[in-house]
Amino acid sequence: MTDRDDLARDFVVRTGWGAAESRPLAGDASARSYRRLVAADGSTAVLMDAPPGLVEPIADFTRVARHLQSLGLSAPAILAEDPVHGFLLLEDLGDDLFARLLDTRPALEPDLYRAATDVLVRLQSVPPLPNLPEYGVPMMADYVSVLAEDYARTDPAPLVGHVRSALERLVPETGTMILRDYHAENLLWLPGRRGLARVGLLDFQMAMRCHPAYDLVSLLQDARRDVSPAVETAMVAHFAAATGADGQAFAAAYAALGAQRNLRIVGLFARLARTAGKTRYLGMIPRVWGLSRRCLAHPELADLAAFVTKTIPEPTPGHLQGLAAACPTP
């Protein structure tokens, strides 16, 4: 048992859950981890272990969670916290992730995505949480450098310049609160609740300020599952109408943000494979590349599309095999 295990055990005992059975839960891609605690009476809670200095402080999570709860949204209730050592005891929202439900009940897709879109409308109906960092155009453009560096193995500066030029034209507003990783792996269906509270929210501690379309892109252009084109089209139109956005300008911003996000993810997946031996991510690249090409087909992105076509190789089997061959053994 490590010192970290001892600290976690001490925290659990102090919260009154010392006799509970502890079961591992799937974590995210960071050093943060989760365990489900199951008491003798069947009640449950979730232990979050967020080692200080390795992941965002738990204060980031609790601050955003309480803001979301104040809007009537289902972020997990905070039952106990130890900010010094990085532990939280959270309400257990269950296991019905959107992604898991949709694998077995695909007919739910329109209802689930409509509910998740309405959560974004509600989130954006009030001023953003104060002092959130901005995910602005310079940062978004710089983040795409990973595509050139780790996927195409070329100089990132020209790509960053083209992306920045497109975003400066098409994404003028970056003051809206976004949750950033808003997709089917981080959303839970809670049918026993009513209205917007039926959507359980996870992994929002990295909230920032960006364009209103950013989280919608994250939701509808999912790196891990295909969202039907009909649902995507309907939800973009629904969100624009519900927020009073200009349809044409919003569609262009949505496409620009989709191109930025998906090109960056292709690069990130290549980096995870090349530096950490996580070659499973290479299998996701064709889907994300296809999403980026759909976005780049927007007329307002013609210059960026031409540059990407000229300088970034498509994820052919040969190119992906070359990336895999350069990966370390995990």
β-strand partners of 189 = 199
Structural domains present in the chain = 3-91 (3.30.200.20), 98-325 (3.90.1200.10)
| pLDDT given for residue 154 in this prediction | 96
Q: Identify the CA nearest to 262 among candidates 169, 183, 170.
A: 183
From residue 272, give the alpha-carbon distance in Å to each of 100, 196, 319, 328: 24, 35, 16, 10
Q: Beginning with the edge strand found earlier in the chain, give each strand of the sheet holding 87-91 in spatial order.
A: 21-25, 33-38, 44-49, 87-91, 78-82
| pLDDT given for residue 28 in this prediction | 61
C-alpha–C-alpha distance, residues 23 and 37, integer Å? 6
Q: Is 72 left (phi over 0), alpha (psi -120 to 50) or beta?
A: left
| pLDDT given for residue 300 in this prediction | 98
User: Rounded to two decimals, what is the model's pTM?
Assistant: 0.93
Average pLDDT per 10 consecutive residues for the chain, totaling 330 residues: 87 95 79 93 96 90 97 98 96 96 97 98 96 96 98 97 98 95 96 97 95 98 96 97 95 98 97 90 96 98 98 96 80
| Secondary structure (3-state) at 1 | coil
Compute the radius of gyration of the chain from its Cα atoms.
21
